Amino acid sequence: MSPEPLSFVWPLAGGLLVGLSAAIYLLVNGRVTGISGLTATAIGLARGSPRTLGFGFIAGLLVGAALASALIRRPEVQITSDLWLLIAGGLIVGFGTRWGSGCTSGHGVCGLARLSPRSIAATGVFMTVAGLTVFVTRHVLGGVG
Amino acid sequence: MNRLIVALLCGLLFGAGMVVSDMINPARVLAFLDVTGAWDPSLAFVMGGALIPSSIAYLIRRRLDAPVAADAFHVPESRRIDLPLIGGAVLFGVGWGLVGLCPGPALAALTTGAWQAFAFVAAMITGMAVFRLTLGRET
């Protein structure tokens, strides 16, 4: 399933919002905006981070997404995965992001910005593996995802 | 400045970014990852756009002794590339490539009411809990 073509202005503007969020959170609260870490913190699965901040950030994320959907851009969520694929994917994303200490936001947006060698390595690996996974499911096996 | 208010505000910006950028739509993310198919460059613009303010902030940070509203910076300082980092990134890459959802967009997608987002996030939190009870016991 291919989404409708999208002007680059939307992803660029959305990316700037995400980067602005990371910038303010770093300079004011002194922390990285890694969503896997903040999620684990919010639900009490991470040590050493203040739970209320994780909870506040995730609550804000949900409100921000709802407000932007109502006021700026009505999103379309196209998912073809069946229940079992969603469960399998969710489980390994949850486990993997905690084991690897981050996801697209923590390693990608914050880690690359500060040229962290760990984040550069992690981002290179998960981007490559995700690309290979899509190649196998779409072009080798044919239409799983 | 109240750190909880700042967390809420930053979450608000991040969540709006997920919708405005259309990263909330897994089909768009998969179209970026599908380099040999009908490639969609959107995710590259999101990353590029995000890295501009983020990089500037990390440059400013070098000149600051402490953040505005906290006693110290809590930014990971380790430089060690080890098995957990790479193993975790491999697993995350597989899951991301299978469904097209990573944690930020998955949470944002909950607000659309799509049942698939609820199933994915429930499984993701379960995966985090499993890590906490197994490999993450002592960390």
Q: List C-alpha distances in Å: A55 to A38, A135, B83.
A: 8, 36, 29
**B4–chain A nearest CA distance, Å:** 6
**Nearest residue in A to B78, CA atom:** A118
| Cβ neighbour number for residue B17 with a 10 Å cutoff | 32
What secondary structure letter does DSSP report for B113?
T
Cα angle: A111, vertex A112, A117; to 5 degrees: 75
- Look up the domain containing B112 and give its range: 3-133
| Entry pTM | 0.96
Question: Inter-chain contact A103–B16, Cβ cutoff 8 Å?
Answer: no
Question: Inter-chain contact B19–A72, Cβ cutoff 8 Å?
Answer: yes
pLDDT tens for the 139 residues of chain B, in order: 699 999 999 999 999 999 999 999 999 999 999 999 999 999 999 999 999 999 999 999 999 999 999 999 999 999 999 999 999 999 999 999 999 999 999 999 999 999 999 999 999 999 999 999 999 987 6
Q: Where are the domains of chain A?
A: 9-140
Q: Do residues A114 and A33 touch, judged by C-beta distance below 8 A?
A: no
Rounded distance between C-alpha atoms, residue B49 and residue A18, angstroms: 8
Question: Inter-chain contact A10–B22, Cβ cutoff 8 Å?
Answer: yes
Instruction: List residues bridging with A31 in a β-sheet.
Output: B74
Q: Which of B57, B90, B103 sits opposite A125 (nearest CB)?
A: B90
**Nearest residue in A to B9, CA atom:** A60
